[in-house]
Structures are given as structure tokens and as C-alpha cells.
Chains A and B, each alone.
Chain A
Amino acid sequence: MDTLTDPRTSYLSDFERTAKALPGFPELRRKAIEKFAERGFPSPREENWRFTDVAPLAEIPFKPAVGTANPNQFAGLANGPLKACQITFVDGRFAPSFSSLDLPAGVGVTSIGEILKTAPGVLAPLVQVAEDPFAALNTAFFRDGAAIRIADGVQVERPIHILCLSSLHGEPYVMHPRTVISLGEGSRATVVKSFLGPSGGTYFLNAVTTVLLDAGASLDLTKVQRESQQAYHFEHLDVRGARNSSFTHHSISLGARIARTDLQVKLEGEGADCSLFGLYEVAGAQHVDHHTLIDHAQPNCTSRELYKGVLDGRSRAVFDGRIIVRPGAQKTSAMQTNKNLLLSTEALVHTKPQLEIFANDVKCKHGATIGQLDEGVLFYLRSRGIGLAEARRLLIHAFASEIVDSIKTDAVRSQVGGCLALIAGGA
């Protein structure tokens, strides 16, 4: 290894320097950093990383986040419409003063930092060394994040909000938040994860999220990513659904220089169901990548997936959706669609739907489209007095509304709608 130029070096030396201070799981962390050392950052020669070059990220010497000197700058942002039940993190650390954890019975929302101090053993079944180098880095370094536990049979009406704020620093910094959400038998919850950073902030947010759904549990999870345009946002999201569980995910990706979400859902019990929705709107030099994998491991499971993208400027988007139907997973129903709208001739999208079917009695469908705003429709709107910019805005909104409208909870839908309106206003 050439220690001067190898991007691994700074992470390895940071680990050696801070390992003693990292709370809990010393052996696991050691194994994880060794995995990362051996594996290194992915290269575009790897199939899974063909269209997302992480070299710009690897070249920046990010330092572990130390927290902001002035958390009060975030007071306004922490006061959003979902503040009623909210756990807030500033630069990756739990911020109790911006959190409101007045919770109904059977609902536990805690910071991972607290758990690591008091009872790290609880997390043991949830943290492993992953093959993915980003997930391995997170395992080596994680020290905080949100832990949500819903007891058997508890139905939580109010959305639980995980708010991750990243401050503006002189030096590029890195955070490795870890989120764990587990729902007991027959329980139901709505969770929103918001990622927010001021423009100009150069940071690397490397998240790992684990979701465990017991039999009959139902989780509606929405991610709203509005990082700084200079930020790097990576998330590895693993979901396991037991019998008759139901998982709905919305990935709203608007910010970051490079944003990548790896979402893996394993339908492990009969009758499990998942719905994955995504909406990415990028411009300038932004790059957004969604890799999804739905693993139909048992019979009678259903999945549907709809990702839509709007690309302007020189932006790039990648959609890679894989669906595996295991042998014996009969009566599987799986639908997958990816639709893209290109607003500029320099924007580019790579879309790759993949079905791998090893059972014979299944209903599976996939498709992808890439198009532009329809000139005929634009003219129609203008011929009625609507200006060109407004006509474009109307049509982009119409394209995106299918995803926004599929968000069931009013408060979440209006929050997402508000974010999109902000983007449209700025463009």
C-alpha cells in the first residue's frame, strides 16, 4: 500500500488513533476496519459501482466529526412540522435539546450512543461486518444514531422523526450514523429520516440502517435527503420482513454532490410485502445512485417498486433494481418501474432493472423509461398564457406527484411537498 496516496490510509490511522475511545464492540470494529483495509473503496471496474465513481470522495481527507461549536444555529431547522416526536443529531451526535421524546407506552426511541454506554449487548444481533466497504467503515467507527423499538401490538399514530443536521465547518468531516428500527409482532409505525446540511458544507455522511419487522408488523419509512451540494451521502439500508409484515419506503433524494443508497429488503416469511418508492431531483454536477435488492425468499410475498427521477444540468443518476425470486417462492408478485425525465441534453441516467427468477408460478414485471418534457404539452400550456418557466414547473411537479401522493401520512406528505417546492423555487 502506498501510504501517501492510498485513500484508505487516513481511515486506518484514524481508527488506530481513536479505537480505544470508540464505545463497545472492540473486536467487531477491528474486524470491520480490516475488511475495509483489505477491500478498499470500490472501483468503477466493479459491476455494482460501474457508474458511480467514488474517487472524488476517496481523495478528500475527511476527519472524524467533532461536533459544531454552535448548535443553536439549528434551532430553526429543528422546529419543523414533525418536531412533536423527534430525535435530532447534529454532526452525527445526539442533540437532546433539539429532541422531543415524549413517547406513548410501548415506543422506545433512544440514541445508540446511550445504548453503547449502558447495554451494548442489545445491539449485538444487529451489527455485523458487511462485505460492503462503506458499511464496514460504519461498523468500525459508529458511535451514535437512533434506535427505535416498537413493542408487540403497539400502533403508533404520530410519525417518529429522525433529524440529522450537519453543520458548516472549515475542514471536511465524516460521520457514521447507525440506525436501528425494530417492530414487534403486529405493531405499526411511521418513521421519517431527514438529512439536512447548509450549502457549502463538505462532509461525508456514511449511514447504516437496519430494520427488523416481526410477523405482521408494518413500517412506513420515508427518507428525505437534502444534504449540502458539496456533501457525500451514503446509506446502506437492510430490511428483514417476517411473515405478513409490510414495509413501505420512500427515498426522496434532492441534495449532495454524490448520494448513494443501497436498499436491501429480504422478505423472509410468507405473505410479507414491500413497496419501494423513490424520487430524485438533481441538477448541476450532482450524482445520485439507488441500488435496490428485493429478495423474495418465501412464497406469497408481494413487492412493488416505482422510482422516478428528474435530471437537469450535467447531473447523473443511476438506478439499479434487482429482484430475486428464490426457488420455492411461488405465487410471488413483483413489479418494478423506473421513469426518468431529462431536462438537459447533458444529463445522463443509467437504469438497470433486473429480474432473477428461480420459481415457476410467479407474476413479475419490470420496465424503465427515459424521456423529456413533451414539447406539445409545453406549447399547450403556454398557449393558455402560462409562462415557460411555470409550464416546466407544472409538468415536473406533475411527474413527481405520483411519488409524493403515494406517501400515506399527511404530515409527511406535506413535509416532502414543501421540500420539493423549495427546490422548484430555487431552480
Chain B
Amino acid sequence: MLEIRNLHATAGDKPVLKGLSLTVKAGEVCAIMGPNGSGKSTLAHVLSGRDGFKVTDGSVLYKGKDLLAMAPEDRAREGVFLAFQYPVEIPGVGNTYFLKNALNAIRKHRGQAELDAHEFLKLIKEKAKLVQISENLLSRPVNEGFSGGEKKRNEVLQMAVLEPALAILDETDSGLDIDALRTVSDGVNSLRSKDRAMIVITHYQRLLSYIIPDRVHVLLGGKIVQSGGKELALELEQKGYAGFEAA
């Protein structure tokens, strides 16, 4: 699904990713854990195509295609989804209207018929139940006045509607209390499938008690320094990142 080779990237002028390599297979949920400044968010941004990040070396193949050559909207249309660490508020743009536009842009790209307002409303109500987001948030402007938990749930709702092949969750646990963490995780878990890969980026092991990963990768100084099964997360929790830095 995704093959990252020797990726070097800068945020602004500062080199952050320094030779990151990673392979993610379809159906796999992989966790990327790392301390602040290790390059976690830069990786998420580079994969989704955000301005301000420059790839200086290496390559990223997604379903065999050069991901880095695609515009952000084309990545999304090809099935890449980023759940933002800090979802933005968009005053004046209704949540349902926005998501209908997004889904129809993707469907159009796939050669599928666009959904009309009625069909879409049915779909979004169904998905809202799945991620336990209250229906009144659907008619409000995107994320405007949403609580931290509601914003994260809204990200998972978007993921549920857009049905990406590759979902990247950037610190989805940050700012969530334990109940919100459970609902968000339940939503994410319900979207696990053999055709869908997920990259869960997190600082803490906490999230991984709810979203059990198939693989865990430790990111330090812009590189993956160790990979393993889910038990690696627990080891990290005990030893801290310092133990890996020494290694």
C-alpha cells in the first residue's frame, strides 16, 4: 500500500526527516511513536501534501504511484486521508455541505455517480451513529465552536464517510479525556478492514490500548530506529524514549 524509502524532508528550513523508511501493507494498522520533535507531524504533513514542507531526498510510493508528485486533493481522491491533530474551524461552511462536496469530488474521480442531497443525508446520518457524533453538529459550520472531543470525532466521521484506503491519524488522542478517547477509538476500530491501512501517530502508549496496532515503529531524530509488534509499545512505556536514543 505505502512504501516510504529514505525520506528526507525539511519543515521551513529545518531538516526534520533524515532517512525515514517504512512499509505499510493493506489491512495493517501501524503505530508510529516518538517524542516531541522526532518528526511525527512532519511525516503526516509530507504524506498529505501540506505546503511549507520540502522533500529533499527519498521517495514515497502509494499503490505503486509517486505520492509526492500529487496535489493534496488528488491524494485524497486516490484514497489518502489525514485526521488532523488540530482540525480547523471553517465559519460559514456547513459540515454536511462540506462533506458532501468532498465525497462527491472523490466519487467523481472514481467514476461513480455523485450523491444527491437526500442520498447523502441518509449516508451521513448512518455514519454519525457509528462514530457517536450528535446530529446537531452536522448542520453547524465545520468544527466551529466544537469541543476538542467533537472535533476529533468529526475527523473520524469524515474518515467513515470518505472511506479512504490509507488513513493517517495524527495524534488523534491529544486533548481527549478517557471517554472521548474510547468513542474515537471505537469509531476508528469499526473502520478497520483488510483493504484499509492505517498509520496511527502518537506520543503515548495510551491510545494503543484502544487501537491495537499490528506493527509499532519508533521514530527518533527523523528516522525509524526500531520496529516490532504491539508489545514494543509497552516496552516504550516502561523504558521511555531515552532507552532508544542510547541504542
Residues of A within 8 A of B (CB): 374-377, 379-388, 390-391, 394-395, 397-399, 401-402
Please determine whether B90 and A380 come into contact, CB atoms closer than 8 angstroms.
yes
How many angstroms between the C-alpha atoms of A76 and B141 in the bound complex?
A: 37
CA distance A374 to B90 in the complex (A): 10
Which B residues are in CB contact (< 8 Å) with A391?
73
Subset of 12 A-B contacts with CB under 8 Å: A374-B88, A377-B90, A379-B51, A385-B73, A386-B98, A388-B73, A390-B101, A394-B98, A395-B93, A397-B92, A398-B90, A402-B92
Contact with A along B45-65 (1 / 0, CB 8 A): 000111100000000000000
B54 to chain A, nearest CB (A): 15
Chain B residues lying within 8 Å of A382, measured Cβ to Cβ, are 49, 71-73, 76
Question: If A375-B51, A390-B105, A394-B101 touch, does A384 touch B158 (CB 8 Å cutoff)?
Answer: yes
Closest CB-CB distance, A203 to chain B, in whole Å? Answer: 35
A385 partner residues in chain B, CB cutoff 8 A: 73, 76-77, 102-103, 105-106, 109, 162
> A-B pairs with CB below 8 Å: how many?
73
Q: How far is the CA of A325 from the CA of B91 in the complex (A)?
A: 33
B-side interface size class: 20 to 34
- Closest beta carbon of chain B to A229's beta carbon, Å: 27
Q: What 1/0 flags go to B8-45 for Cβ under 8 Å of A?
A: 00000000000000000000000000000000000000
- Interchain CB contact (< 8 A) of B73 among A387, A394, A395: A387
A341 CB to nearest chain B CB (Å): 11
* Bound: A402/B92 CA distance, A: 8
- Interface contacts beyond A384-B76, A395-B90: sample of 12 additional A-B pairs, CB < 8 Å, sorted by A: A375-B51, A376-B88, A380-B90, A381-B90, A383-B75, A383-B76, A385-B102, A385-B106, A387-B105, A388-B71, A390-B101, A395-B92
CB neighbours (8 Å) of B84 from chain A are 380, 383
Selected contact of A383 from candidates B82, B90, B109, B141, CB within 8 Å? B82
CB distance from B156 to the nearest CB of A (A): 13
B87 within 8 Å of A (CB atoms): yes
Q: Tell me the complex Cα distance, A383–B93, Å.
A: 16
A41 and B51 CA atoms in complex are apart in Å by 49
Which of A375, A379, A398 makes the CB contact (< 8 A) with B93? A398
Q: In the bound complex, what is the Cα–Cα distance between A340 and B134 (angstroms)?
A: 34
Residues of B within 8 A of A394 (CB): 93, 98, 101
Closest to B103 in A: A385
Question: For A377, what are the chain B residues with a Cβ–Cβ distance below 8 Å?
Answer: 88, 90
Shortest CB-to-CB span from B117 to chain A, Å, is 16
Contact between B92 and A383, CB atoms less than 8 A apart: no
Smallest beta-carbon distance A387→chain B, Å = 5
Contact partners of A384 in chain B: CB under 8 A: 76, 98-99, 102, 105, 158, 162
Q: Is the CB of B87 within 8 A of A380?
A: yes
Chain A residue numbers with a CB within 8 Å of B103 are 385
CB proximity of A283 to chain B, nearest CB, Å: 21
A383 CA to B82 CA, complexed, in Å: 7
Docked pose: A386 CA to B158 CA in angstroms: 13
Q: Which of B73, B81, B98, B141 has the most CB of A within 10 A?
A: B73
Closest to A384 in B: B102
Contact mask B108-137 → A, CB, 8 Å, 1/0? 010000000000000000000000000000
* Bound Cα distance A379, B46 (Å): 12
User: From B80, which residue of chain A is reached at the shortest CB distance?
Assistant: A383
Q: How far is the CA of A387 from the CA of B98 in the complex (A)?
A: 12
Q: How far is the CA of A377 from the CA of B82 in the complex (A)?
A: 14
CA distance A382 to B48 in the complex (A): 10
| Closest 8 pairs between A and B when the two form their complex, measured CB to CB | A398-B92, A385-B76, A384-B102, A382-B72, A385-B105, A385-B106, A382-B73, A398-B93
A contact residues around B51 at 8 Å (CB): 375, 379
Cα(A379)–Cα(B73), bound, Å: 9
B105 A383 Cβ-Cβ under 8 A: no
**In whole Å, how far is B199's beta carbon from the nearest beta carbon of chain A?**
15
In the complex, chain A residues whose CB is within 8 Å of the CB of B71: 382, 388
| Distance in Å: Cβ of B149 to nearest Cβ of chain A | 19
The chain A residue sitting closest to B109, CB to CB, is A385
Which residue on A lies nearest to B106, using beta carbons? A385
Given A384-B158, A401-B92, answer yes or no on A379-B72 (Cβ-Cβ < 8 Å).
yes
B126 → chain A closest CB, angstroms: 19
Q: Tell me, in angstroms, the Cα distance from A383 to B50 when the chains sit together.
A: 9
* CB nearest neighbor in B for A391: B73
Contacts of B109 in A (CB 8 A): 385
Cα separation A382 to B71 with both chains bound (whole Å): 8
Given the interface pairs A376-B88, A398-B91, the reply to whether A383 lies near B48 with Cβ below 8 Å is yes
What CA separation (Å) do A380 and B106 show in the bound complex? 15
Residues of chain A lying within 8 A (CB to CB) of residue B76: 382-385
CA A422 – CA B162 in complex, angstroms? 30
Distance of A319 from chain B, by nearest CB (Å): 20
A1 to B228, CA, bound (A): 91
Nearest CB of chain B from residue A222's CB, rounded to whole Å? 20
**Interchain CA distance A383-B75 in the complex, whole Å:** 8
Residues on B with C-beta less than 8 A from A398 are 90-93, 141
Complex Cα distance, B93 from A402, in Å, reads 11
Instruction: Give chain A nearest CB distance to B196 CB in angstroms.
Output: 16
Contact A381 B50 (CB under 8 A): no
Interface centre among A376, A384, A391 (most CB of B within 10 A): A384
Instruction: State in angstroms the CA–CA spacing of A364 and B84 once bound together.
Output: 40
Contacts of A380 in B (CB 8 A): 84, 87-88, 90
A375-B84 Cα distance, complex, nearest whole Å: 15
User: In whole angstroms, what is the CA distance A116 to B140 when docked?
Assistant: 54
Bound CA span A399–B93, Å: 9
Q: Whose C-beta in chain A lies nearest to the C-beta of B72?
A: A382
Instruction: Give the residue of A386, A395, A399 whose beta carbon is less than 8 angstroms from that of B105.
Output: A386
Residue of B nearest to A402 (CB): B92
Report the minimum CB–CB distance from A279 to chain B (whole Å).
13
Is B90 within 8 A of A379, CB to CB?
A: no
Residues of chain B with a CB closer than 8 A to A383's CB: 48-50, 72-73, 75-76, 81-82, 84
A377 to B51, CA, bound (A): 12
Docked complex Cα distance between A48 and B106 (Å): 51
Min CB gap A34→B, angstroms: 51
